[in-house]
Structure 1
Amino acid sequence: MSDPRSPDEFRASFIAAALSVGLRQNGDFNGARQEGVGSFQLTQRDGMRHSTAAAFLDPLESRPNLTIMTNTDAHRVVIRNGRATGVVVEHDGRVETIGAASEVIICCGAFNTPKLLMLSGIGPETHLQALGIPTVVANDHVGAHLMDHPFYTVNFETDRPGTLFDSADRTVLRTYARERRGVLTSNIVEVGGFFSTRSGPAPDQQLLAGPAFFRDHGRRSHDKPAFMIGSSLVGSRSEGRVSLRDNDPHSAPSLRFNYFRESADMTSMVVACRLIREIAHSPSLRALTTRELDPRLGHSDADLADDVRRHVQHTYHPACTARMGAPGEGVVSPELRVHGLTALRIADASVFPSIPHGNTNAPTIMVAEKAADLIRSGF
């Protein structure tokens, strides 16, 4: 973890704007208090994203007891007499079975972990039967309870330097290459905060802002410098589902997020919409703004709710599709073992009983660390 390496005008202006509308400053979101605004700490080293592969796998790749297979898809877990004994995989176009001397640990993420379980006969029995997959363990919670953080953004044009629009500038490139500093160290959403729209143990909304144009999951661009302010519903209560399209392991799973199925979620987003514009219209940010790029028609709650539905994005934080819980209430035990089988565990965000009120990267690493401790200790 590290703090942003290069202070910029937008970050300071956003914090000043948020403070002016009544939010508190927070210098450490990972400390005792989550609520407030400030700069986010980043999963970076020397100005670059530091992935779990770089942190955990790269230093150990020469170990004789570790084999990393790329270009490999898992087709199903092999289960004999209630025990996971291996995995059928396709490696470079060739299907083979890899045996497990001790146990199998699934870490395919909240979309593909339930997919792999269902292809292996572990999941809702009626769904498996409809696809011609023999049921090994019937469990309606596999693929259920999908949760994510709905995200709504507003973009503003600016004439100030220092946004990611300048990322191709030779001076910017030279600064990053030599010093690992400057705008290219930005993670786009480098500043923000947490606030509450309803009572609860933790804030339910996360402000996300940065010196970049961001629309339609980053697939669209703008021809001038811009900045973005958005809010993510980290306290979402709505649940969706992951299911299989067919019994072909090459097919992507079917995803239904069911955003805003719980009406309280939309009520919270409407409050967040109003706060975004209140912050954007404060003097410190208006001084940077030449025009709003996403002007919305109407200001009633119904108008704002309709706009959220039409422009909602997600924050790539899917979770809870193989949730931890007692038999009959979840998929895995507190030791991450799949109910009804032996020698099979899951170690990814799919095991979260509910989605965290914050980003999922660090909690997922925590699950993996805990899994390693459990395996080493023999639990």
Structure 2
Amino acid sequence: METTHDYVVVGGGSGGCVMAARLSEDANTTVCLLEAGGDGTGALINIPSGAVAMLPTKINNWGFETTPQPGLNGRRGYQPRGKTLGGSSAINAMVYVRGHREDYDRWANQEGCTGWSYQEVLPYFKLSEGNERIRNAYHGNQGPLNVSDLRSDNPFQQHYLNAARQAGFKITDDFNGEDQEGVGIYQVTQKNGERWSVARGYLLPNLHRKNLIVHTRALVQKIVFEGTRAVAVDVNVGGQVQRITARKEIILAAGALQTPQLLMVSGVGDAAQLQSLGIPVVAHSPEVGKNLQDHPDFIFGYQTQSTDNLGVSLRGSWRMLKEILRFRRERRGMLTSNFAEGGAFLKTDPSLSAPDIQLHFVIAMVDDHARKFHFGHGFSCHVCLLRPRSRGSLTIQSTSMADAPLIDIGFLNHPDDLEDLVKGFKMTQRIMQAPALAQWVVKDKFTAHVKTDDDIREVLRNRVDTVYHPTGTCRMGSDDKAVLDTELRVRGVQGLRVVDASAMPSLVGGNTNAPVVMMAEKAVDLIRGHSRVGSVDEPVQQASTHAQLMAAAPVA
């Protein structure tokens, strides 16, 4: 193993894959990427429907749990996180959503993150994106992250849209354009009907580079400091701990749960807590692990007789055999489904300037993250609160990265979150009970006896959990309490930067994978000291031109 590189990237998820691939474009720069999981390949990852085998298990998945949650009647929540090259982009529902423009303007104007306004980040979204269909000022078409329409051809998409129309909601075909509000079908990070993880888009086509070294099944133990400068990491590979040194920077991209854990076990965090565990303090940074945010999410579930929806039955088995053959021939059909095919961004109050709830319409019965089995076929609908007021925190229980962090997600701790979700519940129920969908329902599995607002509050506390968007535990900002500065550098030390969802100052109104890719693209320019996208006043032409030069290789 080569032990000295210019940059050492810890974590091969969305942020880490972008950083390793982009930094190694310079042949004179050496990059080492360390990933605790596998190589990001295989049928379960590449076939979109394979997610059903990974999400509820520990296949390519850390499978964390939270501490008991008072807001959830004492239940523990589930926090699946990708454990393979590509990170959570290798096990997620592949939904391509950026959030609302107001989210980034809030970062820049209210949360002290100069340089992160919507106008300034849009060019980086476009730089990363290779959208197959939508060609306008809001989208890129030549970037490494391929974005396509779904190829499942499922008729339930139209039932869902018709129900939304009947319930009085408008239809949209682009959640990432000028107006996010509306009901539609998600675009996904797929190519030719296969999952297009960030590893597949950015990293795997470039493994031939001599200046790019990737180690999988390599669990970083701690960051090594000389004084307050990060100079190396200790990593366990094959049962042996080795030290890998960085000449320029160490880049943490281990995600919103494990990046703060790694900082704390290495001596960056709240001094009193670290000292209580016998960890020498390198920098007192009490907000490490604080400010944890996630989208609280409730799922409606319905039993149906239709085999257009995924499920287990004798009729469904025969249908699935035909779908397997179709996938092999055409790369179309049920196996290309991301499950969460339909979406929506809606306002619980028409006076709001941006949608505050999001829907994921799923062509299968979902119960407890697919960890509870239901025989037969069904469909489901998630409703999540986009800008929760509740905040959680993360701490460590030992000095070892092999021990899971203690995750207090804080769901429904703020009373307004519960009341906003009650409104979101009622809006979603209007769509589910519209004739276009109601005609397919055999049984309402979870809400048949929910009649009053108090009934809704109780079922929310009994069933709400994550929709897989933890963020904010190493927030950036211009104030002294922020863990990171606005260039993603860790305050109080040198040579250490964070590029993942933990850096977000506040949660965006949507899925978080595309925003992390954007943040990583911007971080590359922050490190290099020059912009690849030109003036923020002319993002379209500059981003498109660069993306054509940097497009990843097509699928073999």
Gaps in structure 1 of 5+ consecutive residues: none
Report the CA distance between 1:296 and its aligned residue: 4.5
Q: 1:227 and 2:379 equivalent?
A: yes
Residues 241 and 255 in structure 1, CA contact (< 8 A), matched pair in contact too: yes
Moved segments of 4+, more than 3 Å? 198-201, 295-298
Mean CA deviation greater in 48-57 or 112-121: 48-57
Task: Indicate the residue corresponding to 1:193 in structure 2.
Answer: 344
1:216 maps to which of 364, 368, 372: 368
Report the CA distance between 1:290 and its aligned residue: 1.5
Q: 1:75 and 2:221 equivalent?
A: yes
Residues 149 and 232 in structure 1, CA contact (< 8 A), matched pair in contact too: yes
TM-score between both structures, scaled by the size of structure 2? 0.66
Residues 222 and 265 in structure 2, CA contact (< 8 A), matched pair in contact too: yes
Report the CA distance between 1:200 and its aligned residue: 4.0
Please give the alpha-carbon distance, in whole angstroms, between the structure 1 residues aligned to 2:454 and 2:275: 42
Q: 1:105 and 2:257 equivalent?
A: no
Task: Indicate the residue corresponding to 1:325 in structure 2.
Answer: 477
Report the CA distance between 1:298 and its aligned residue: 3.8
Task: Indicate the residue corresponding to 1:41 in structure 2.
Answer: 187
TM-score between both structures, scaled by the size of structure 1? 0.97
Identity in percent: 37
Please give the alpha-carbon distance, in whole angstroms, between the structure 1 residues aligned to 2:481 and 2:273: 18
Report the CA distance between 1:326 and its aligned residue: 2.1
1:11 maps to which of 157, 182, 192: 157
Task: Indicate the residue corresponding to 1:89 in structure 2.
Answer: 235
Residues 261 and 405 in structure 2, CA contact (< 8 A), matched pair in contact too: yes
Gaps in structure 2 of 5+ consecutive residues: 1-146, 532-556
1:263 maps to which of 388, 391, 415: 415
SS in 2 for 1:161: coil
Please give the alpha-carbon distance, in whole angstroms, between the structure 1 residues aligned to 2:526 and 2:447: 52
Task: Indicate the residue corresponding to 1:161 in structure 2.
Answer: 307
SS in 2 for 1:225: strand
| Corresponding letter in the other structure for 1:220 | K
Report the CA distance between 1:342 and its aligned residue: 1.2
Change (3 A) 1:291 1:242: same
Q: 1:247 and 2:393 equivalent?
A: no
| Corresponding letter in the other structure for 2:171 | Q
Please give the alpha-carbon distance, in whole angstroms, between the structure 1 residues aligned to 2:382 and 2:197: 25
SS in 1 for 2:224: strand
Report the CA distance between 1:270 and its aligned residue: 0.7
Please give the alpha-carbon distance, in whole angstroms, between the structure 2 residues aligned to 1:216 and 1:340: 41
Paired residues, what number? 379
Greater relative contact order (Cα < 8 A, sep 6+): 2
Please give the alpha-carbon distance, in whole angstroms, between the structure 1 residues aligned to 2:496 and 2:382: 40
Task: Indicate the residue corresponding to 2:177 in structure 1.
Answer: 31
* CA deviation string 1:274-331 (max 9, x = no partner): 1222211111111211121223434222221111111112111110000011242311
Report the CA distance between 1:261 and its aligned residue: 1.4
SS in 1 for 2:262: helix
SS in 1 for 2:508: coil
Residues 476 and 484 in structure 2, CA contact (< 8 A), matched pair in contact too: yes
Mean CA deviation greater in 102-111 or 269-278: 269-278
Q: 1:369 and 2:521 equivalent?
A: yes
* CA deviation string 1:106-133 (max 9, x = no partner): 0000000000000111011121111111
The Cα RMSD (Å) is: 1.5
Q: 1:128 and 2:274 equivalent?
A: yes
Please give the alpha-carbon distance, in whole angstroms, between the structure 1 residues aligned to 2:164 and 2:421: 17
Please give the alpha-carbon distance, in whole angstroms, between the structure 2 residues aligned to 1:308 and 1:63: 50
Mean CA deviation greater in 355-364 or 69-78: 69-78
* CA deviation string 1:214-261 (max 9, x = no partner): 110111222111011120112212110010011122111000011111
Q: 1:178 and 2:324 equivalent?
A: no
Please give the alpha-carbon distance, in whole angstroms, between the structure 1 residues aligned to 2:348 and 2:290: 27
SS in 1 for 2:149: coil
Mean CA deviation greater in 28-37 or 304-313: 304-313
Please give the alpha-carbon distance, in whole angstroms, between the structure 1 residues aligned to 2:450 and 2:344: 27
SS in 2 for 1:174: helix
Please give the alpha-carbon distance, in whole angstroms, between the structure 2 residues aligned to 1:329 and 1:193: 36
Residues 341 and 361 in structure 2, CA contact (< 8 A), matched pair in contact too: yes
Mean CA deviation greater in 6-15 or 263-272: 6-15
Residues 156 and 291 in structure 1, CA contact (< 8 A), matched pair in contact too: yes
Please give the alpha-carbon distance, in whole angstroms, between the structure 1 residues aligned to 2:153 and 2:450: 36
